[in-house]
Amino acid sequence: MARITLDNLAHSYLTYPRGPEDFALKELNHDWADGEAYALLGASGCGKSTLLNIISGLLIPSQGRVLFDGRDVTTAPTAERNIAQVFQFPVVYDTMTVRQNLAFPLKNRGMEAAEIARRVQKVAAMIDMEAQLDRKARGLTADAKQKISLGRGMVREDVNALLFDEPLTVIDPHMKWELRTQLKKLHHDFGHTMIYVTHDQTEALTFADKVVVMHDGRVVQIGTPQDLFERPAHTFVGYFIGSPGMNLFDATLDATSNGRHARIGDATVDLTQPYAATGRVQVGVRPEFIRLAAGGDGIPAQITRIEDVGRHKIVRLHAAGRDISALIGEGEAIPADTDRITFAPQGVNVYADDWRVAPGGESR
């Protein structure tokens, strides 16, 4: 197991990049703590695989260094890094049996037969393929082959890190949940450093201790699921995570109140804390923190639709010139004469140029 350090790392697939927009991965400094389970989350094309392949050695970065426990491995081949990587699509030996496929990484390292048999049996149980151990991989479904790939990734106990690049894409939904549970258990039992790439927030939030959110080649936030929910560091995190995502209101902070009051549309809202940002900003409020009101203070709003989604209702509204969403709990009433919204103070975040501005007095 290893701590993985990314030092001044950046990558462009072009030989002569002209500017930041030519970088698939923009400059990044980060330590992946030894033994932690991370999810790398972002939309397709944001640079997740690029970053993972640099860590595994499939790709040499155009700038910066990769260190394993302080040792520079930037140009070291994959085999020397002692990691296991599982890709989106199956990589299996068709002419080998499932058992031989699973045993391959261990045999390669000269492990004795009894130990190989023990590990293969254990992994076969984890991926639910004990009954197919003696079948040839050829002729198995894509789903089954991907489970073999996963098994091969999990079979070694002595790796520096386990890297998964959207490994459950071709797995059927029911099995997804089961395999994710097994991966979590594997992490719990062996404490490997794990990096799990996904574009699916549910997968990321259920798998990881820490989620690394990427957007457009940049890491925009690294935090616990709770951090990402309560304090999105970037507007992208706000709307990408959460269902529905965070509402964003164009706003102007009022200087005479030291930035404690914001002008949103025709309304003035008390943010309850001062913010040191000038000019146009955005106020972000998750649907969970929007309150409905009839009369009194707040931003004028009209309900356009109510969706019952089981444990709560999603109320769609039009307010301050935009469409927004509010989440209303099961037992809570929706006033028939709702004509405004207010914000629960703990749910207010302020953004300038898409980055969160900490309120005065917040310790960081």
Among 2, 47, 195, 287, contact with ligand ADP (rule: CB under 6 A): 47
- 20 makes contact with ligand ADP (CB under 6 A): no
- 8 Å CB contact between 239 and 215: no
Q: Is the dihedral of CA 38, 198, 80, 113 positive or negative?
A: positive
CB of 50 to ligand ADP, least distance (A): 3
Nearer to Mg ion, 108 or 202 (CB): 202
Helices 173-190 & 113-126 angle (0-180, nearest 10)? 130
For the CA atoms of 115, 190, 78, 62, what is the dihedral angle to 10 degrees? 180
Residue 322, SS3? strand
Tell me how far apart the alpha carbons of residues 4 and 7 are, in angstroms, rounded to a whole number: 10
Q: Is 330 exposed, middle or buried (0-12, 13-18, 19+ CB in 10 A)?
A: exposed
**Residue 345 binds which entry of ligand ADP, Mg ion, none, with Cβ cut-offs from 5 to 8 Å by kind?**
none
Report the distance separating Cα 129 and Cα 97, nearest Å: 12
Q: Does 12 interact with ligand ADP (rule: CB under 6 A)? A: no
Comparing CB distances to ligand ADP, the nearer of 161 and 248 is 161
Contacts 24+ apart (CB under 8 A), 261-265: 262/350, 264/299, 264/320, 265/299, 265/300, 265/319, 265/320, 265/321
| Tokens encoding 149 | 């790939």
Among the listed residues 12, 49, 56, 182, the single contact to Mg ion using CB under 5 A:
49
Q: Tell me: does residue 46 bind ligand ADP (CB under 6 A).
A: yes
The binder of ligand ADP chosen from 22, 29, 31, 45 (CB under 6 A)? 45
* Cα 67 to Cα 364: distance, rounded to the nearest angstrom: 27
Considering only 4, 41, 49, 124, the residue that binds ligand ADP (CB under 6 A) is 49
- When the beta carbons of 50 and 160 are compared against ligand ADP, the nearer one is 50
CB atoms within 10 A of CB 236: 22
We find the least distance from the C-beta atom of residue 101 to ligand ADP, in angstroms, to be 25
Tell me the residue type at 36.
E
| Tokens coding 180 | 């994710």
- The contact mask relative to ligand ADP for 24-43 (x = CB under 6 A, - = no) is x-----------------x-
Contact flag: residue 13 with ligand ADP (CB under 6 A): yes
CB of 50 to Mg ion, least distance (A): 8
Residues 157 and 207: their CA atoms lie apart, in Å, by: 19
Shorter beta-carbon distance to Mg ion: residue 1 or 170:
170
Return the residue of 4, 5, 50, 98 that touches ligand ADP, per CB under 6 A.
50
- For the segment 304-333, give every residue that binds ligand ADP (CB under 6 A): none
Size of site (CB under 6 A) for ligand ADP: 10
Residue nearer to ligand ADP on the CB measure, 53 or 338:
53
Torsion angle of C-alpha atoms 2, 107, 119, 1, degrees rounded to 10:
0
The residues pairing with 355 across neighbouring beta strands, listed in sequence order, are 234, 352
User: Which CB sits closer to Mg ion, 49 or 101?
Assistant: 49
From the list Mg ion, ligand ADP, none, pick the one residue 237 interacts with, judged by a Cβ distance below 5 to 8 Å according to partner type.
none
256 binds, among ligand ADP, Mg ion, none (CB under 5 to 8 A by kind): none
Site string for Mg ion, 54-83 (x = CB under 5 A): ------------------------------
Cβ proximity to ligand ADP, 24 vs 84, nearer residue: 24
182 binds ligand ADP (CB under 6 A): no
| DSSP letter (8 states) at residue 234 | B
Identified binder of ligand ADP from the candidate list 15, 16, 19, 44, rule CB under 6 A: 44
Binding residues for Mg ion (CB under 5 A): 49
Binding residues for ligand ADP (CB under 6 A): 13, 24, 42, 44-50
